[in-house]
Amino acid sequence: DGGITQSPKYLFRKEGQNVTLSCEQNLNHDAMYWYRQDPGQGLRLIYYSQIVNDFQKGDIAEGYSVSREKKESFPLTVTSAQKNPTAFYLCASSTSGHPYNEQFFGPGTRLTVL
C-alpha cells in the first residue's frame, strides 16, 4: 500500500540534544512538507521541498534542519537551538505542479522534551 510513514511515533529528548524525525513516502511524490502542530494553533509549516536536493524554509524554520537526498525521504532534525520543541510533528507529501493537488499526511511523531 502506498503511503507516508513517520518514525518514531513517540520521541523523548533531553534538553540540549539534537533528534531526527524520519519521514518516508512511497507515493512517488515530488513535494514533501514538515508541519508542527501545537494545541490551539493549527499546523504551521517548518520546511518544504519540491524536488530532490532542494528545500526551503517555511514559517517557523528556526531551530530545525532538513535534508532531501532521496525522493522518498525527508528527515527533520530538531536541534538544541529550538527553544520549545515539544509538539506533534506531521510530514506530508503531494505531487507538484498544481495547488489543487491533495497533500497526504503521515501519522505524526509526538516529541517531548524532558
Residue 89 sits in the site that holds other proteins (CB under 8 A): no
**What are the residues whose beta carbons fall under 8 Å from the beta carbon of 24, sequence distance 6 or more?**
4, 5, 6, 72, 73
Residue 41 sits in the site that holds other proteins (CB under 8 A): yes
Give the whole-angstrom CA distance, residue 64 versus residue 42.
Answer: 19
Nearer to other proteins, 37 or 80 (CB): 37
Cβ-contact 90, 103 below 8 angstroms: no
Nearer to other proteins, 48 or 74 (CB): 48
Summarize as ranges the residues that interact with other proteins (CB under 8 A).
31, 33, 35, 40-45, 48, 50, 56, 58, 88, 90, 92, 94, 96, 99-103, 105-108
